[in-house]
Amino acid sequence: MNRITTNPAQCGGRPCVRGMRIRVKDVLDMLSGGATQEEILSDFPDLGVEDIRTCIAYAARYVDHPVLAAV
């Protein structure tokens, strides 16, 4: 996922899209708030469709972890 970058000197080290100051979280927050892909692309003209898909894939990858339960 080379479209997702992190830089300690940018956005507090949070994951961003292609080195821009557009955080993955911003894109995901807009999607979860009901924004359409077209609205996001309009608000962030430097983004592309593949950037949005990559943000979703990034989030999916990081929430896919085992949950340990006490038995």
What domains sit in the chain, N to C, each tagged with a CATH number?
4-63 (1.10.10.10)
Chain position carrying tokens 């996922």: 1
Contacts of residue 61, Cβ cutoff 8 Å, sequence gap at least 6: 1
Whole-number Å distance between alpha carbons of 33 and 40? 11
| pLDDT tens per residue across span 22-66 | 999 999 999 999 999 999 999 999 999 999 999 999 999 988 888
The whole-number pLDDT of residue 67 equals: 79
